[in-house]
């Protein structure tokens, strides 16, 4: 009996049989995972890349795919209330047909309609934003809602935290939503005085290792909330590129980011409130506070500024911000001026920019001379040759890192928000952008951009750079563009 079992064991672990078992397991892995990926019906190049990568890295590739592979979030029920917000905020202030078409595109992809603002203020750099924000926080009567990608535990974070604590003690409801990855260095201990005072704190897509045991759930490591939203009493709202961090306060650091934020009042505030409400309810599973907010909505009248909030994220297949940017470029008659810290365009955006330049429009791109990511800087420069051949004028802002996310089209269309011009912002992150169909706001943005050009030398003839030290690293970085 023992000899029979030993013979079977030896036969089973024969080297040829081991190879056969491993091959069968690999084929089952490739076929099973391949069918799963194919049924997602994504871009052919992306699908083929994932299939080859997963086949070349058995099991390890599966782990990579689970962590950072294409993911979608379903939260459609939370978006149903947008119809009510649309009814409350609808406003007809659009004049040109191009404005109407852009607004329809934004509405079709977000269910939020063209509305208005009674006041729009562009805030340049962090000090101006933090000063104004602290003033508004001090005047809050009902509630303060904040959502940030980065809320740092530093001097600026402490200043705003303590201002919020004072308002909580005065009876104001404070809800703070921070991204768990972007604000990873800010611990619960830092926020404890705020929560002890009675404020509510939530972390968007926590990345704690405790989730590893929930094997039925894919971790949302790659899907972040990059939004920066503040809503005070449903009357005042802030959004734009500036986080809560000393790195964006030029009064405290000479190398602080160069950035742009917007302060608004009027009906558009309700749209930003709606976006925050959806994110808070999704993160916390709380629903009761939605009716509480609905009961306290103020009576808001139409304002002179035509504006529309455009949210986008992996909970929608439409890539609303991406589509509106491309649509705005195609709608341009005279000029397109784009400022972005991370420039990694997809084919649609690249085609739109080069087509506009080839058609004789004034197309300008301003990016940082050096961003906070060497890889992103290299990837961006890999597109310069093609853009410049088409006639795009490229400028690299040098004194500090340019962090502004804005686009000016002609004399009456402006896009300002949280989204970078790259696949991560267009597809993976939760973002928000404001579409202004207004000559006054566009004029203010034009004035701001014109003030940047003296500090942003124009790029000349990038093709002459050394192929080994410049062009080859840029080409390699470009291969990683979909992940940047």
Q: Kindly name the residue from 136, 259, 279, 410 that is annotated as catalytic.
A: 410
Distance, C-alpha 205 to centroid of its chain:
15
Q: What is the C-alpha to C-alpha distance for residues 207 and 199, in angstroms, rounded to an integer?
A: 22
For residue 421, give the DSSP letter: B
Q: What is the C-alpha to C-alpha distance for residues 389 and 387, in angstroms, rounded to an integer?
A: 6
Whether 228 is a known active-site residue: answer yes
Angle between helix 268-284 and helix 288-295 axes, rounded to 10 deg: 160
Confirm if 105 and 324 have CB atoms less than 8 A apart: yes
Residue whose token pair is 């009357």: 235
Q: Kindly name the residue from 228, 261, 322, 325 that is annotated as catalytic.
A: 228
Q: Kindly name the residue from 125, 233, 259, 412 that is annotated as catalytic.
A: 233
Confirm if 444 and 261 have CB atoms less than 8 A apart: no
Whether 330 is a known active-site residue: answer no
- B/e letters for 56-74, b = 16+ CB within 10 Å, e = fewer, are eeeeebeeebeeebbbeee
Whether 11 is a known active-site residue: answer no
Q: Kindly name the residue from 143, 205, 226, 267 that is annotated as catalytic.
A: 226
Q: Kindly name the residue from 143, 145, 325, 405 that is annotated as catalytic.
A: 405
Q: Beta strand 200-204 with 335-339: parallel, antiparallel or unpaired?
A: unpaired
Q: Kindly name the residue from 205, 403, 422, 438 that is annotated as catalytic.
A: 403
Q: In what order do the strands lie in the sheet with 229-232?
A: 119-124, 260-265, 236-240, 229-232, 143-148, 173-179, 200-204
Q: In what order do the strands lie in the sheet with 362-368?
A: 115-117, 305-312, 431-437, 413-417, 406-409, 335-339, 362-368, 393-397
447: Cβ contacts below 8 Å, ≥ 6 apart: none
Confirm if 237 and 264 have CB atoms less than 8 A apart: yes
3-class secondary structure, 265: strand
For residue 333, give the DSSP letter: S
Whether 226 is a known active-site residue: answer yes
| Residues recognised as catalytic | 226, 228, 233, 403, 405, 410
């Amino acid at each position: 009996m023992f000899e029979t079992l030993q013979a079977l064991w030896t036969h089973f672990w024969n080297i040829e049989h081991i190879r056969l078992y491993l091959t069968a397991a690999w084929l089952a892995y490739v076929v099973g995972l391949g069918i799963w990926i194919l049924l997602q019906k994504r871009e052919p190049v992306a699908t083929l890349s994932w299939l080859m990568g997963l086949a070349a890295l058995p099991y390890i590739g599966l782990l990579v795919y689970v962590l950072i592979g294409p993911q979608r979030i379903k939260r459609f029920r939370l978006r149903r209330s947008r119809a009510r917000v649309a009814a409350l905020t609808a406003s007809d202030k659009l004049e040109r047909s191009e404005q109407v078409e852009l607004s329809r595109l934004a509405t079709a992809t977000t269910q939020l309609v063209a509305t208005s603002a009674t006041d729009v203020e562009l805030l340049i750099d962090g000090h101006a934003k933090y000063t104004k924000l602290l003033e508004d926080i001090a005047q809050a009567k009902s509630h303060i809602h904040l959502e940030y990608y980065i809320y740092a535990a530093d001097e600026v974070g402490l200043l705003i935290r303590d201002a919020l604590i004072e308002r909580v003690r005065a009876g104001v409801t404070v809800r703070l939503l921070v991204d768990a990855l972007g604000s990873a260095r800010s611990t619960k201990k830092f926020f404890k005085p705020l929560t002890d005072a009675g404020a509510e704190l939530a972390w968007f897509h926590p990345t704690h290792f405790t989730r590893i045991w929930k094997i039925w759930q894919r971790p949302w490591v790659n899907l972040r909330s990059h939004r920066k939203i503040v809503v005070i009493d449903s009357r005042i709202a802030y959004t734009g590129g500036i986080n809560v961090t000393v790195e964006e306060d030029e009064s405290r650091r000479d190398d602080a980011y160069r950035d742009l934020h917007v302060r608004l009042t009027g009906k558009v505030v309700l749209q930003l409130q709606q976006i925050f409400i959806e994110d808070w309810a999704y993160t916390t599973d709380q629903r009761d506070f939605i009716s509480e907010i609905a009961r306290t909505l103020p009576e808001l009248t139409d304002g002179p500024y035509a504006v529309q909030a455009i949210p986008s994220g992996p909970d929608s297949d439409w890539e609303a911000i991406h589509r509106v940017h491309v649509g705005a470029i195609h709608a341009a008659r005279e000029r397109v001026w784009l400022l972005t810290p991370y420039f990694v365009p997809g084919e649609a955006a690249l085609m739109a920019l080069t087509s506009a330049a080839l058609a004789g429009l004034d197309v300008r791109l301003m990016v940082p001379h050096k961003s906070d990511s060497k890889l992103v800087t290299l990837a961006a420069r890999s597109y310069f040759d093609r853009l410049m051949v088409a006639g795009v004028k490229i400028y690299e802002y040098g004194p500090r890192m340019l962090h502004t996310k804005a686009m000016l089209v002609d004399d009456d269309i402006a896009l300002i928000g949280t989204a970078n011009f790259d696949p991560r912002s267009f597809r993976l992150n939760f973002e928000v952008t404001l579409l202004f169909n207004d000559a006054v706001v566009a004029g203010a943005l034009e004035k701001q951009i014109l003030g940047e050009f003296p500090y942003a030398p124009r790029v000349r003839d990038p093709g002459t750079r050394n192929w080994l030290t410049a062009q080859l690293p840029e080409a390699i970085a470009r291969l990683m563009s979909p992940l940047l």
